[in-house]
Structure 1
């Protein structure tokens, strides 16, 4: 616990700007941040070292997409130290988040974070996304820094239900990636995101299966 963290007011203001209730969410996010920072000193889970920078680049950036998620199952592919999956699981308890990560040290951290935070709506799958044998089990998958849109669908598209959606977090609008989508997939929406304290462009690209053409 961080009973009087100097980051608390800044995080609460960021959550309010995103339309999220700051309490008790801010303190739970800071508990996660403290655990991540502690493990990061030994296991190098993220290149970002400064906790204030983590607040905007990791916590608030992960939560910027919260409005576009539907209740139910969500697979976070290549989640690393739990981004965006753990902040989203904390903010949206109606989600059932599968944290998919093949790196052993990151998976160990994820299991500890889930245990320490009491995240009953999250589980860890230590595997590569393409090796997860749950075809069609997810109405939504996400990935924050895994691959191109086509690459994400190549390794994780099998996890999506027939009407499922990929919600991919990107920086600048990825027009080249969109043009390279496989023919069975189409962009349903491109949502500009504003992340408190983070300059630069952010976009959420929502991709679904293309409806079959009538004979």
Structure 2
């Protein structure tokens, strides 16, 4: 059992509410089979809640009710499964190219009984036109300039990209400016999620997209 600190427990309760038991079961999967199959490094276990699960789940506050969300490069379900657990009203499509990761995701989704999750084994660019979504999420996939052409086309011309980033967010936006505009990005900003919940809130690059 991965123990939560008092601060993590309070944050988890606020974020997950009556879904908290599901979130705990997900973390147990990360700490056991997730490590055994190489999806998470063993050194991450003490930080699973603070650095990974809570850090991802707070992004849910930026997403409209009932939205269809595509999570690119889901890996261990970060942020896709965190969002699906925290927000049962959302519909998540997890896009992941590696078979062993897809197999693990399928097992976890089945165990948790998440009816609002679909998993597609595919590269992001191959999923364009096959996924219906108004929001695309990504975490630790690549720099924004490279990430944008892989993610924004999934929106079909309208919606928004939410990319979880770190301190380099502003610099990445500056570098990717022309690429974002060419893809229909008309407003790009850095937003902070979880400010009133987490000791270290989450930095997100939000790119709003519309057809020209």
**TM > 0.5 between the two?**
yes
1:66 deviates by 1.3
Structure 1 runs (4+) deviating above 6 angstroms are none
Deviates further, 49-58 or 138-147 = 49-58
- Which structure carries more helix by proportion? 2
Q: Secondary structure at the match of 2:110?
A: helix
1:188 deviates by 3.8
Unaligned runs of 5+ in 1: none
Q: Indicate whether 1:35 and 2:29 are aligned.
A: yes
1:142 deviates by 0.5
Tell me, in whole angstroms, the C-alpha distance in 2 between the residues paired with 1:33 and 1:15: 12
1:11-50 counterparts in 2 under 5 A? Answer: 11-16=8-13, 19-20=14-15, 22=17, 24-50=18-44
* 1:138/1:160 contact within 8 Å kept: yes
* 1:136/1:162 contact within 8 Å kept: no
Q: Secondary structure at the match of 1:208?
A: strand
Query: How many residues of Structure 1 are paired with residues of Structure 2 in the alignment?
Result: 204
What's the TM-score, normalizing by structure 2? 0.85
Unaligned runs of 5+ in 2: none
1:57-136 counterparts in 2 under 5 A? Answer: 57-70=51-64, 71-134=66-129
**RMSD, matched Cα:** 2.3
Q: Indicate whether 1:187 and 2:187 are aligned.
A: yes
Q: Secondary structure at the match of 1:162?
A: coil
Aligned counterpart, 1:159: 154
Deviates further, 202-211 or 62-71 = 202-211
Q: Secondary structure at the match of 2:158?
A: strand
Q: Whose Rg is larger? A: 1
